[in-house]
A and B are shown apart, each in its own frame.
Chain A
Amino acid sequence: MENSKTFIIPVPGDSLTGGPEALHQLAREINDLPDCQAFIHYTGRKDPRVAE
């Protein structure tokens, strides 16, 4: 990870509500920016549907 442009975004691993979806959207848009990278950090038990 290149630290000056790295974003860490915690996401509840077991929640399928709008909040986690918005957090995923943020990570994707950051990753589309030049010189920026975002990483999702799942907290709690991860439901595989949460990233869908």
Chain B
Amino acid sequence: MYATRETADPREDGAVLVLGELYDPSEWNFPEFKAKWVWWLSCRRHYPLEAYRGWGHLFQSEYARLLFEKIGLSGFMLTDHIRPDFFESPPAPSSKKDLIIFSGSRSALNVLRLKLTEPRLRLMPLRGLGAPQIVRRMDEAKIYLDMGLHTGRDRLPREAALRGCLVVMPRQGAAAGPADVPIPDEYRWPAGRVAGLGDFLRRLLKEYDERVRDFSGYRDWIGNQRAAFQKEVRHFSEVCRDVRPPAVSPAEKILPQLDAQVLELEESLGRLKRESADLAVRVENVLMLMPLKVRLAALLNAAVGRLRRPR
């Protein structure tokens, strides 16, 4: 698809290294590199800031750029774009079903909570699928529901909008504002809230034909991303030739801001924890209502499984 060239040996004299944020920077400090850049495709940090001393920073989302700016790290925007498959003529609205698709892993917990209260909504995950299967599933659905953390400018909402889905996003992370997700504000749902969501989704399904027009601006914005990305890459290539990346700010200066960032993450994690506890209680209540024979069968299966397990 992207017809790129490969190298088995990354240690190339005078080359510029561009590393995704999931990699450990301390493993890439080869003297051969002229410059090293970390590309924050998600704003979740996995390694201490100190490990990026002397590295430049590239931000895939405005959310990440602002978050890192708060702790004294500046750099350049380097976004991405959606592959051409998703731009091919979208399906006719009449061919859509009353189906809601959701990001299979990051929304799983909250969608499970929703399913428990709204068993009649048709909710289908996008999980473990390649691009052609994702396109097919999006073409059937009227709504793409996302209840994840949004630590960057995610692809699925953009892809779904191109395939004619209404996009419902959580009001948190990169999805909270128009810089990274320019959809009408009414489609941003309070993060982690399930109460009232079923009614909202039913209304969207019913009014799909009119509401799909609400996303024409978002689709246009997505359509312009390839050109924007090309411009960013040109700028980046020029910057790399002339300028060495700035050093990381001294830790003493960034501690208060760093503390604020940690607190923000703590809040997110705390909310997830509360949601998990809530889910556990609900699942327990459902299990209590299960017929006795189903519970006995489950216990029997578990006992057989234990007996068969090798010692």
Contact = CB atoms under 8 A, between A and B. Distances in A.
Please classify the interface of chain B as helix (H, G, I), strand (E, B), loop, or mixed, using the class held by over half of its residues.
loop
B178 interface: no
A42 B6 contact: yes
A1 B14 CA distance: 10
Interface residues of A, number: 39
Contact of B5 (A18, A19, A26, A38): A38
Interface in B224-268: 229-230, 233-234, 237, 240-241
Interface in A6-52: 6-12, 16, 18-33, 36-43, 49, 51-52
A25 B80 contact: yes
Interface string B52-78: 000000001000000000000000001
B16 interface: yes
B15 A1 contact: yes
A30 B235 CA distance: 11
B41 A22 contact: yes
Contact of B15 (A7, A32, A40, A42): A7
A8 B4 contact: no
B237 A30 contact: yes
Interface of A: 1, 3-12, 16, 18-33, 36-43, 49, 51-52
Interface of B: 1-10, 12-20, 22-23, 28, 33-34, 39, 41-42, 60, 78, 80-81, 83, 130-131, 154-155, 229-230, 233-234, 237, 240-241
